[in-house]
Amino acid sequence: MKTLISKAQVMTIWDQTLAQKSIGIIDDMIAFVGEVPEDFQADRVIEGAGYLVMPGLVNAHTHSAMSLLRNYADDIPFWEWLTEKVWPVENQMGASEVYWGSMLSIAEMIRSGVTAFADMYFLSEETAKAAAQSGIRASIAKGLVGSSENDAERLSDTRMLVKNWHQAENGLITVMAGPHAPYTCDDAFLRKVANLCDDLQIPVHIHLSESVKEVEESLSKHGRTPIQHMDDLGIFRHHTLAAHCVHLHPADFEILNEKQVNVVHNPASNLKLGNGIAPLSQLLAAGVPVSLGTDGSSSNNNLNLFEEMNLAALLAKGSTSEPTAAPAWTVLKMATTQGAQALNLQQKIGDLKPGMKADMILIDLNKPHLYPRLNLEASMVYSAQASDVDTVIINGKIIMEKKEMKTLDLERIYFEINQITESLLGKPIDPSQTNAPL
């Protein structure tokens, strides 16, 4: 199948340019960006006038099934939110809940221009199934909470996930190891996770230095920050995606740069839970690769990468009193090429180049808030809205066209979500179920 996107405004990240160009797609690959070769005969033509074509956005950290808990536990402290609200309900969730919660989030992400995401949750096979049905690109991690008492079972679960899903759906789905956090995994278990990654050759997805309490407890227990402690245990000898990294000590920046740990900045979630503002400018200055994530809908409460781009830029400027911090191109890179790197897919996605996978979105520029069209890269960070996304292409396949979903039945999803939440949240919470269900 040959697809031509004709004469659109095209954004390429690698050279930071915006210009009117055409894009040719053959099957799942980008064939050209620029003038249309004389011998290119398209089977399908998308008229690009009035549209911006840009790389698909990458949500580098989320918990898809937590859409079930959107607007459920708001305006309370982080640890109370986690242990008294979220974990007790999650302990009552089964395969159906995780599947349909994932479907709801995937629909939301596609509609807002996300073409790839990194997910950590339990019953993660259900999230993989939902991703496969939708056609989105996904990196799936089974969240691991472990100690010497249950390590064999937990590690076996990840092995099975790799066997069944790694590189599945023609490479659309990949697998990471998902040790939840230093405060939910003991040292012996974390060493075994590192060894498992050696064996399976898979990356790591972990939460790090999200709250003041986490860092203080690590210093008290180990005399080391969470970043230092994970380095000591060998976690960073693998490609690592580290979510949050809000509360960092000077030595942490050096480690993150040296090991090229992929930090995922989750500005909305960090703000809403009162965990603070990640030091984005310092991370970038230290040479640390930084991407963007939404976290789960229960702590955000949406999966809108345009909002995260806007917040990341504004928070960097406001927190440093420096208006040049986190300029538009830097933030766009975080949401695209750096996100691809976080998922260990930088050779395949994240930009619009010949030979890369055809993951891209079309933005409808005919909106009042996008006029005048003086600086489109700034428009995407400071003015654009998720609802401006018109068409989504993933792996060369049109997943959404003119806002019409091609692979998902939204009415069915809404029906199932209503049924599940009525049952799930109607149950009394067992106050003893305050441990992570992962």
Which own/partner pairs from 166-172 qualify as long-range (CB within 8 Å, at least 24 positions apart)? 166/202, 168/128, 168/132, 169/131, 169/132, 170/28, 170/395, 171/348, 172/131, 172/132, 172/135, 172/136, 172/137, 172/138, 172/394, 172/395
CA 393 from centroid of its chain's CA atoms: 17
Cis bond before residue 301 (omega within 30° of 0): yes
Q: Do 234 and 193 form a contact (C-beta atoms < 8 A)?
A: no
Cis bond before residue 372 (omega within 30° of 0): yes
Is 80 labeled as ligand-binding?
no
Is 186 labeled as ligand-binding?
no
Is 210 labeled as ligand-binding?
yes
- For 150, the token pair is 């249950």
Q: Which of 112, 2, 107 is nearest to 65 (CA)?
A: 107
Is 180 labeled as ligand-binding?
yes
Is 61 labeled as ligand-binding?
yes
Is 207 labeled as ligand-binding?
yes
**Furthest CA-CA distance within the chain:** 69
In total, the chain counts a number of residues equal to 438
47, β-bridge pairs: 6
Is 90 labeled as ligand-binding?
yes
Tell me the binding residues: 61, 63, 90, 180, 207, 210, 295
Tell me the binding residues for Zn(2+): 61, 63, 207, 295
Tell me the binding residues for substrate: 90, 180, 210, 295
